[in-house]
């Protein structure tokens, strides 16, 4: 987008512009000062409408000189000077406009960015922080967000930077630059937390839990299990420790390991009866072992605890289908794909139910979704394998195909 187009897009709110003489003058003769003000104001509006900022700027400067409290002229002039890169000239105009009307968030955002580029870091950050939550236009919110992230990272304020990037991702959740920025910030926060923990609580259960999670990502399950067990030895009352150990033990695919996993999930539930994730995992295990009644109870309890858990909804639907209760399973699967459209397993089973009900069009649509997300999961698994990360699980706990 060219500079003039950027200015026009940002600037539209101010094109109501400078009050005309008919609003300011009395019914008597117009003074020469008022006539001059009118002439400059009209020219400024004309040049703004024609997208001629170079011509509008001197006219706006003349209006401000004649009428220092003219809000629109101050704001317009500050915006034009900002987009020309004349931050030292823009800042006083933007600041004056804010004094006249403090809730001009876009003006405050531009003032903050001007101050930041002039080396006034404290003032710039404060103005951008104040404006950022109120900004609605995506372009300027992204610009201010990136400026804030740069400001925070330059002073090591990583939590604040992470908060900003999270807000930006709500607007552009698939933007590669934002995703990388989030990855970098969260990675740096992780490293910082590990270092602080190692210095302040090296013998704590949480230190061993942290080490275990890092080892899992590195593919060293044996060392991770050892650290989880040490963490539990230090503090056996932390429910999350038992849950995370159980997940790792189940993936060992050994009879003893999986039996121990069940025991750890049950311990996690004893420590925290509201642990919906452990209930769902126990339901998955019971379902895989053919214990449909036990699976039904576990999944039903999980859905009761968290009605919007797509994993539990899909798992419960699988059990109901096995019990020939398709009518009860159908709304659960429809809700699951609403909550997580990437669930290949839910799409596959939903396609089957639609086909059995004679809803051919719906069945074809869900089958297409299943094939799309099955391929996506396969591609993700390949990428994760290259990065030596644990595979992404589908909604029923599998890494890929429906059971």
The predicted model gives 366-380 an average pLDDT of: 91
Average pLDDT over residues 325-329: 96
* CA-based nearest residue to 78, from 62, 94, 96, 101: 94
CA–CA distance, 295 with 197 (Å, rounded to integer): 39
pLDDT digits (tens, 9 = 90+) for 103-133: 999 999 999 999 999 999 999 999 999 999 9
- Report whether pLDDT(144) > 50: yes
264-279 per-position pLDDT tens digit: 999 999 999 999 999 9
Q: How many CB atoms lie within 10 A of CB 34?
A: 16
Instruction: Output the pLDDT for position 392.
Output: 55
Confidence band of 25 (pLDDT split at 50, 70, 90) = very low
Whether the per-residue pLDDT at 185 is higher than 80: the answer is: yes
What whole-number distance in Å separates Cα of residue 370 and Cα of residue 403? 13
The distance of Cα 166 from the centroid of its chain, to the nearest Å, equals: 4
- Helices 221-234 and 239-250 cross at an angle (nearest 10°) of 160
Average pLDDT over residues 325-347: 96
Domain definitions of the chain by residue range? 1-101, 202-273, 293-403
Closest of 351, 399, 396 to residue 379, by C-alpha: 399
pLDDT of residue 376: 87
Confidence of residue 352 (pLDDT cuts 50, 70, 90): very high
Residue 96 vs residue 21, higher pLDDT: 96
pLDDT of residue 390: 67
**How confident is the prediction for the chain on average, in pLDDT?**
89
Q: How confident is the model at residue 14 (pLDDT cuts 50, 70, 90)?
A: very low
Residue 357 pLDDT greater than 50, yes or no: yes
What pLDDT is recorded for position 10?
53
Reduce the secondary structure of 1-32 to three states and give it as a string.
CCHHHHHHHHHHHHCCCCCCHHHHCCCCCCCH
Of residues 385 and 319, the one with the higher pLDDT is 319
Residue 42 has pLDDT above 70, yes or no: yes
Rounded average pLDDT over 133-148: 95
For the segment 327-343, the average pLDDT, to the nearest whole number, is: 96
What are the residue ranges of helices labelled H in 84-157? Answer: 87-100, 105-117, 121-131, 138-154
- Per residue in 72-81, pLDDT (tens digit) is 999 999 999 9
Mean pLDDT across the stretch 133-159? 95
Per residue, the 3-state secondary structure of 138-203, as one string, reads HHHHHHHHHHHHHHHHHCCCHHHHHHHHHHHHHHCCCCHHHHHHHHHHHHHHHHHHHHHHHHHCCC
> Is 190 a residue whose pLDDT tops 70?
yes
pLDDT at 400 over 80: no
Asked if the domains at 1-101 and 202-273 fall in one CATH topology, the answer is yes
CATH number of 293-403: 1.25.40.10
**E strands, 218-364, in order:** none
pLDDT of 387 strictly over 80: no
* Res 32: pLDDT: 83
CATH fold of the domain at 1-101: 1.25.40
Question: What per-residue confidence (pLDDT) applies to 391?
Answer: 61
Tell me: pLDDT of 13 over 80. Answer: no
Q: Is the pLDDT of residue 55 over 90?
A: yes
pLDDT digits (tens, 9 = 90+) for 195-224: 999 999 999 999 999 999 999 988 899 999
Q: Residue 395 — pLDDT band, cuts 50, 70, 90?
A: very low
Alpha-carbon Rg of the chain, whole angstroms?
A: 30
* Predicted TM-score of the model (pTM): 0.75
pLDDT digits over 287-306, tens only?
999 999 999 999 999 999 99
| Cβ–Cβ under 8 Å, residues 239 and 271 | yes
Lowest mean pLDDT, pick from 198-202, 248-252, 398-402: 398-402
* In contact, 76 and 47? CB cutoff 8 Å: no
pLDDT at 377: 86
Fold of 202-273: 1.25.40
CA 130 to chain centre: 20
Q: Residues 35-53: what's their mean pLDDT?
A: 90
Residue 154 reports pLDDT greater than 50? yes
Q: In the prediction, which pLDDT does 371 show?
A: 94
Question: Residue 343, SS3?
Answer: coil
Cα–Cα distance, 29 to 295 (Å, whole number) = 90
């Amino acid at each position: 987008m060219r500079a003039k187009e950027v200015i026009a897009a940002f600037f539209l709110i101010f094109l109501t512009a400078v009050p005309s003489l008919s609003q300011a003058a009395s019914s008597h003769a117009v003074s020469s000062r008022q006539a001059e003000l009118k002439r400059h104001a009209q020219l400024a509006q004309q040049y703004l409408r024609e997208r001629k900022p170079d011509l509008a700027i001197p006219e706006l400067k003349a209006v401000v000189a004649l009428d220092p409290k003219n809000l629109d002229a101050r704001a317009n002039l500050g915006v034009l000077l900002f987009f020309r890169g004349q931050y030292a000239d823009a800042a006083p105009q933007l600041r004056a406009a804010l004094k006249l009307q403090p809730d001009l968030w876009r003006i405050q955002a531009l003032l903050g960015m001007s101050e930041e580029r002039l080396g006034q870091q404290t003032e710039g950050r404060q103005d951008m922080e104040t404006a950022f939550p109120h900004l609605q236009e995506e372009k300027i919110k992204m610009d201010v967000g990136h400026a804030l992230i740069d400001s925070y990272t330059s002073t090591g304020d990583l939590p604040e930077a992470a908060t900003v990037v999270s807000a930006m991702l709500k607007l552009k959740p698939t933007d590669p630059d934002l995703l990388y920025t989030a990855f970098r910030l969260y990675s740096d926060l992780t490293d910082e937390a590990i270092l602080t923990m190692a210095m302040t609580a090296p013998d704590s259960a949480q230190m061993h839990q942290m080490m275990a999670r890092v080892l899992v990502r590195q593919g060293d399950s044996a060392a991770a299990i050892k650290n989880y067990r040490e963490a539990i030895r230090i503090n056996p009352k932390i429910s999350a420790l038992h849950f995370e150990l159980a997940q790792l033990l189940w993936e060992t695919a050994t009879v003893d390991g999986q039996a121990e996993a069940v025991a750890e999930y049950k311990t996690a539930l004893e420590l925290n009866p509201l642990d919906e994730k452990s209930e769902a995992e126990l339901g998955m295990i019971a379902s895989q072992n053919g214990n449909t009644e036990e699976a039904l109870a576990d999944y039903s309890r999980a859905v009761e605890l968290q009605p919007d858990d797509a994993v539990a909804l899909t798992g419960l639907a699988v059990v109901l289908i096995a019990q020939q209760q398709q009518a009860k399973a159908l709304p659960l699967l429809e809700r699951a794909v609403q909550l997580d459209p990437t669930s290949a397993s839910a799409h596959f089973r939903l396609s089957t139910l639609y086909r059995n009900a004679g809803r051919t069009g719906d069945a074809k649509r869900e089958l297409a979704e299943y094939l799309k997300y099955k391929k996506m999961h396969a591609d993700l698994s390949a990428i994760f394998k290259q990065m030596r990360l644990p595979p992404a699980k589908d909604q029923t706990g599998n890494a890929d195909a429906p059971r």
